[in-house]
Amino acid sequence: MFIEVAVPAPLTHALTYSVPPLLGVKPVPGSRVLVELGRRKVLGLALQLTERAPAGVERIKDIVDVLDAEPIVPPELLRFLVELSGYYLAPMGEVMKLALPVLSKGEAARVTEQEPRLQLKSVGKRVQYVEVIPEAETPELKGQASEILSHLRERGAMPVARLEEQWKNARPAVSRLRQLGLVRVEDRELPRDPFFREPIPRDQAPPPTEPQRAAMDTIAAALRTPGPSGFLLHGVTGSGKTEVYLNAIAEALALERGALVLVPEIALTPQLVARFRARFGDGLAVLHSGLSQGDRRMMWDLLWQRQVRVAIGARSALFAPVPDLGLLIVDEEHDSSFKQEEGVRYNARDMAILRGHRAGAVCVLGSATPSLETEHLVRERRITRLRLPGRARAASILPRVEVIDMRKAERSPCGDPRLSLPLHQAIEETLARREQVILFLNRRGFAPSVVCESCGTISMCPLCSVPLTYHRTTGLVRCHYCDHQRRFDGKCRRCRSTQLSLEGLGTERLEDTIQQVFPAARVARLDRDVASGSKAEAILDQVRAHEVDILIGTQMVAKGHDIPRVTLVGVINADGALSMPDLRATERTFQLLVQVAGRAGRGEVQGRVLLQTRDPSNPAIVSATRHDVDGFLERELMARSELAYPPFSRMVMVRIDAPDEPRCRHAATQLAAAARASTPVHIGEVEVLGPAPAPIARLRARYRFQILLKSRERRPLRYVAQVILDAEHKLPQGLRVVVDVDPISML
Ligand code: ADP
Ligand code: ZN
Ligand code: ZN
């Protein structure tokens, strides 16, 4: 017997090993096996048993050991991973790692130190709990140990893993407490609530609106019908899509099937998660990047053992081991964060459709502003559109959107040319009514560039071809593309002049200006500089509690927040993203504007949205003012079709980078030539564009070139991409080639 094993190595294919007859446990597809890879022993995942040895391989090694007699992932997920690896031309081992937190490096190492089974058994259903010994006398304690002790006194017993989320040194601190006889540590059964959080009061579904009912019925019927099906739940912001999701999940559960919910950024959607928890309580696994290794493993076990049947999370939740998968939901399916931009460059939206299809499940993509890809699928009748035309709460109507032409508009009395009089007045009026304002600006920092007035030099990142952004709060100039930052000393690096001009407007500066113009208003800012993870939640909580009058922020303020007292949304620079060298610039601008606008008037009062622009006739802006999603889609699809851009063609982006420019250019030219020479006329045409310097021509001290492959069909495209990957091995050292299938970022 032979077995194909996916190993954690940069190989696109699996390796074949033989199964020695005397092995105690027989491997099955989906069990972890210990194998030799070169001189190392690594943990791999068994894919498939075969009778015959592969041709042309001289010596086939035996597998060393088998860790699981039962598969540790659903067979459906295993096949899906193999397919995904082929689709993205990505190393199988890398793809497996996406799905298996169990294949972590540390563990593989520990396993190789003999006793493989013993080690991994301990991570079953039991977890380490720590509890205070009440009668113990407390000595003087300092630091984390003391904090943890009082936390435990207040909250009672809890898993060590939970403490680790809050205190970096929780483990050493706990063992010190144990040595002092203050706490006891023991293995306990998993609690029912996978998050050990205080319970959220359960709620009940409101009676659905007519369109909600229709959508729910259609999805329920599809769930009961064998075989896969797909839907676009197309409803304006606030139309009640979430209720439809909740209902669909309840239906799937009633049929004893599991569900998977993907959301763009879990940290920004605590409200959404709370609504899921209110409906499904402990039956929900919330997967997010803040989970400790232990908690992640636990979620994974709970799902796999069917104790929890619903998983919600950001894109990586796509790989959750939900058995009997019946339903996949992708909320805000147009969001570009579903695309992973490093490692395996998969798009969780596209792959959710694929996984759903292979699993015979129902896939629901939800959006107020569908991506052109999804709209195209609807028009090709591959998926079905379900519409929610109006807002769910009767009193809530869509906001009025007005355009302010910044070429003509009067300036605000504060004199700042980037703030118009109409927006200034609208803010004033809103504050006077004791309502709230959101101001959207898609630029972090104080000033996006620093220019020397005597010699004209722009301060650039030394590692990237990108201007440095001045951040006043920290007194730094920073590159937003790499980690480079340095103290801002007020002097030109070239001529030492101190006449520096801080140009452009970032959220920091806007916050500053607004606070000066409206001194009585409580102003808060929400962007990546002030808010990561739970901090965003805290700021939004303040806004919800009306402890903030004006919230200023980047696209973090655009996501699905539902704050009834926000009645005015101001977009400072609606053109911001339009000038990006990206075929999706118009689409993205439109989606963003509609999303931001959707934050206004979620309550009983009609909201107002003001868009400041220098390009008022741009289709993205015109359509956004009219809430004309269909018109926009129609128009943009036409434009894409004329240029044979996706979704009317498929693309693969090849990026080549290297520390020096001539070698990089040379290699890129070689690869492009190889691609052109290989064009497989027998299976279809492939257009090879480039090489050209990337829009960001240098990043992290590496020069970058791009080759774009374009074709109507996927097959010839993959063929040429493979030719490039094969040619890559012959390139000199120091060059890096990345193949990005269905690229989103063109930078
Ligand atoms: P979406 O996900 O489409 O943006 P939500 O599901 O968040 O919309 O719904 C918007 C608001 O309307 C929420 O406050 C929700 O509780 C409420 N809502 C949804 N459906 C109904 C309904 N059938 N009756 C009353 N209120 C509803
Ligand atoms: Zn200068
Ligand atoms: Zn940089």
For residue 74, what is the domain's CATH number? 3.40.1440.60
**420 CB burial (10 A radius; 0-12, 13-18, 19+):** buried
Q: What is the DSSP letter of 683?
A: T
Cα(289) to centroid(ligand 2), Å? 43
Which atom of ligand 1 approaches the CA of 207 most closely? 23
Residue 387: nearest ligand to its CA? 1
Number of Cβ within 10 Å of residue 262's Cβ equals 28
Tokens of 98: 């996406």
Cα(502) to centroid(ligand 2), Å? 13
Residue 86 located in a structural domain: yes
Residue nearest to atom 15 of ligand 1 (CA): 240
Compute the chain's Rg from CA coordinates. 28
Tell me, yes or no, whether 149 and 97 share the same domain: no
Cα(239) to centroid(ligand 1), Å? 6
Tell me, yes or no, whether 735 and 616 share the same domain: no
Query: What is the Cα–Cα distance from 426 to 448, expressed in whole angstroms?
Result: 27
Domain stops at, among 605, 626, 642: 642
**444 CB burial (10 A radius; 0-12, 13-18, 19+):** buried
Please, what is the angle between helix 75-87 and helix 92-99, to 10°?
140
Q: How many domains does the chain have?
A: 5
pLDDT for the residue numbered 101 = 59
Residue 493 located in a structural domain: no
Tell me, yes or no, whether 52 and 117 share the same domain: yes
Cα(506) to centroid(ligand 2), Å? 23
Instruction: Please report where in the chains the tokens 């004006």 appear, as a residue.
Output: 550
Tell me, yes or no, whether 20 and 152 share the same domain: no
Structural contact between residues 125 and 188, judged by C-beta atoms closer than 8 angstroms: no
Residue 203: nearest ligand to its CA? 1
Structural contact between residues 699 and 464, judged by C-beta atoms closer than 8 angstroms: yes
Residue 523 located in a structural domain: yes
Residue 494: nearest ligand to its CA? 2
Residue nearest to atom 21 of ligand 1 (CA): 392
Indicate if ligand 1 lies below 6 Å from the C-beta of 562: yes
pLDDT for the residue numbered 114 = 38
Tell me, yes or no, whether 178 and 264 share the same domain: no
Tell me, yes or no, whether 104 and 134 share the same domain: no
pLDDT for the residue numbered 395 = 63
Cα(490) to centroid(ligand 2), Å? 11
- What does the pLDDT look like over 388-437, one tens digit per residue? 988 777 666 778 899 999 999 999 888 888 899 999 999 999 999 999 99
Tell me, yes or no, whether 131 and 164 share the same domain: yes
End-to-end CA gap in the chain: 48
Of 236, 369, 393, which is best to mutate to test ligand 1, by the most ligand atoms within 8 angstroms of its C-beta? 393
Domain stops at, among 123, 141, 164: 123
Indicate if ligand 1 lies below 6 Å from the C-beta of 601: no
Residue 328's closest CA among 364, 276, 303, 366?
364
Cα(453) to centroid(ligand 2), Å? 7
Tell me, yes or no, whether 622 and 514 share the same domain: yes
pLDDT for the residue numbered 225 = 95
Which atom of ligand 1 approaches the CA of 208 most closely? 23
pLDDT for the residue numbered 190 = 54
Residue nearest to atom 26 of ligand 1 (CA): 393
**123 CB burial (10 A radius; 0-12, 13-18, 19+):** middle
Number of Cβ within 10 Å of residue 451's Cβ equals 18
**Tally of CA atoms within 13 A in the half-sphere of 515 that contains its CB:** 13
Tell me, yes or no, whether 173 and 228 share the same domain: no
Residue nearest to atom 5 of ligand 1 (CA): 240
Strands 476-478 and 485-487: antiparallel
Query: What is the Cα–Cα distance from 249 to 243, expressed in whole angstroms?
Result: 10
Indicate if ligand 1 lies below 6 Å from the C-beta of 367: no
Strands 258-262 and 325-331: parallel
Indicate if ligand 1 lies below 6 Å from the C-beta of 595: no
pLDDT for the residue numbered 489 = 92
Cα(206) to centroid(ligand 1), Å? 9
Cα(468) to centroid(ligand 2), Å? 15
Supply φ then ψ for residue 159, to 5 degrees: -65, 145
pLDDT for the residue numbered 189 = 61
Of 236, 242, 263, 335, which is best to mutate to test ligand 1, by the most ligand atoms within 8 angstroms of its C-beta? 242
Cα(693) to centroid(ligand 1), Å? 47
Number of Cβ within 10 Å of residue 505's Cβ equals 21
Return the CATH number at 417. Answer: 3.40.50.300
Tell me, yes or no, whether 118 and 141 share the same domain: no
Residue 522 located in a structural domain: yes
Query: What is the Cα–Cα distance from 553 to 551, expressed in whole angstroms?
Result: 7
Q: What stretches of 427-483 adopt beta strand conformation (E)? A: 436-440, 449-452, 469-471, 476-478
Residue 20 located in a structural domain: yes
Structural contact between residues 377 and 365, judged by C-beta atoms closer than 8 angstroms: no
Residue nearest to atom 19 of ligand 1 (CA): 240
Indicate if ligand 1 lies below 6 Å from the C-beta of 396: no
Indicate if ligand 1 lies below 6 Å from the C-beta of 212: yes
Residue 459: nearest ligand to its CA? 2
Residue 462: nearest ligand to its CA? 3
The model's pTM: 0.84
Edge-to-edge order in the sheet of strand 310-313: 284-287, 310-313, 258-262, 325-331, 362-367, 229-235, 384-388
Query: What is the Cα–Cα distance from 599 to 610, expressed in whole angstroms?
Result: 12
Cα(350) to centroid(ligand 1), Å? 26
Tell me, yes or no, whether 272 and 350 share the same domain: yes
Query: What is the Cα–Cα distance from 28 to 72, expressed in whole angstroms?
Result: 10
Handedness of CA 453, 456, 458, 463 (dihedral sign): negative
Looking at this protein, which amino acid is placed at residue 687?
E
Return the CATH number at 684. Answer: 3.30.70.360
Strands 687-699 and 702-711: antiparallel
List the chain residues with pLDDT less than 50: 102-105, 108, 111-125, 191-198
Domain of 214 in residue numbering reads as 210-293+307-388
Cα(497) to centroid(ligand 2), Å? 5
Tell me, yes or no, whether 535 and 411 share the same domain: yes
Which atom of ligand 1 approaches the CA of 388 most closely? 3
Residue 735 located in a structural domain: yes
Residue 168 located in a structural domain: yes
Indicate if ligand 1 lies below 6 Å from the C-beta of 238: yes
Indicate if ligand 1 lies below 6 Å from the C-beta of 237: yes
Domain stops at, among 609, 642, 675: 642
Cα(491) to centroid(ligand 2), Å? 8
Residue 490 located in a structural domain: no
